[in-house]
Amino acid sequence: MDRLDNTVRPYAWGSPTAIPRLLGTEPTGEPQAEMWMGAHPGAPSRTPRGTLAEVIDAGPERELGAAAVGRFGPRLPFLLKILAAGAPLSLQVHPDLEQAGQGYADEERRGVPVDAPQRNYKDANHKPELICALTEFDGLCGFRDPAEAAGLLEGLGVASLAPYVDLLRARPGDAALREVLTAVLGADRQETARTVAEATAACVRLGGAYTPYAQIAHHYPGDPGVLAAMLLNHVRLQPGEALFLGAGIPHAYLDGLGVEIMANSDNVLRCGLTPKHVDVPELLRVVRFEPSDPGVLRPTAGEDGEEVYETPIDEFRLSRYVLPEGGATHDVTRDTPQILLCTAGSVQAGEEDLGPGESVFVPAGEKAEISGAGTVFRATVIV
């Protein structure tokens, strides 16, 4: 197995302290948002044999196994991250596989440069993802029931929100959500900014269920995404709890530290809370306007102490081992590629000693055992 040296991405929304605290290093004063573990071309992990991308390219079947290569091609199909949100991420959705393929082909045909700021589809893949909380973790996930959203907006006492309240109560659920989100994103920006300012003041005054939206507005004053966010479920994960985010589900992470795993894609369509490009027509094509429960996931017991976060896709499988002091050694050998990540304590993965934030890549079929006292997350695929 290969010890990984991983890149930390300094996105503006990142916490300056959460990842350094996990790693036991001094903060730099700059945001440290995501630590990437994998072979993504944007920041592949480094190994003693070269970058993980180079290692896999040199022998895909040796590193990934014949079954994984046959199913997903000669690349690692997932990206594992430690994510540290100190401010809200953009409100966003991801396309399904068919939508991604169509969108990518269309932009390629029209000659839109892949690095252009108005480009929606960087690749032809979908991007389902799972976030598992390491600390208390706040986020938005999926649409509220329209009647609940109407009550939340009405409670602000802002006259310019009354048409949205009426729509949410007068139309069937899916249609109401579509019409209100379309209206919010398409309204005059100056008028919307005034409405958001009034709504923000009311959120600050009222507190309680409105507190998350006051905090969002603090970071994005006047942004129409503040109103869009109030259409969504607010969820607070406790450590060990997770959210699965499938195609078309609007979501945003607000605050906290977690382990995130996703299919290896960069396809994001944004609804707001961002200075980046928002393509409203394409967004409306991809969003699933269905009221839904956030669906908090808790791990289910597997074999030999493994706790599995069950999801409906095969590009990744995330599980964890909570190893007690003096406990047994666990054989984690698989015929698929793995990344093992320590998030607490001190553990041994093969001959490697791992502390919090340290990880190894295990090629398919290579003998792998873990022991010690701590928590290990295991990322692999299903074939």
How much is the pLDDT for 252?
A: 96
Q: Are strands 330-331 and 317-323 parallel, antiparallel or unpaired?
A: unpaired
From first to last of its 383 residues, the chain has per-residue pLDDT tens of 999 999 999 999 999 999 999 999 999 999 999 999 999 988 999 999 999 999 999 999 999 999 999 999 999 999 999 999 999 999 999 999 999 999 999 999 999 998 898 999 999 999 999 999 999 999 999 999 999 999 999 999 999 999 999 999 998 889 999 999 999 999 999 999 999 999 999 999 999 999 999 999 999 999 999 999 999 999 999 999 999 999 999 999 999 999 999 998 889 999 889 888 888 889 999 999 999 998 899 999 988 899 999 999 999 999 999 999 988 999 999 999 999 999 999 999 999 999 999 999 999 999 999 999 999 999 999 99
Q: Give me the half-sphere count of Cα atoms (radius 13 Å) on the Cβ side of residue 203.
A: 23
For tokens 């690349």, what's the residue?
75
Is residue 49 flagged as an active site residue? Answer: no
Task: With beta carbons less than 8 A apart as the criterion, state whether 12 and 30 touch.
Answer: no
How much is the pLDDT for 172?
A: 84
- Out of 46, 270, 317, 334, which one is annotated catalytic? 270
Phi, psi of 24 (to 5 degrees): 75, 35
Specify the pTM.
0.94
How much is the pLDDT for 259?
A: 98
Q: What Cα–Cα distance (Å) separates residue 87 from each residue in 62, 139, 149, 217?
A: 41, 11, 23, 11
Q: What Cα–Cα distance (Å) separates residue 207 from each residue in 48, 106, 232?
A: 52, 45, 17
How much is the pLDDT for 334?
A: 97
Phi, psi of 74 (to 5 degrees): -85, 50
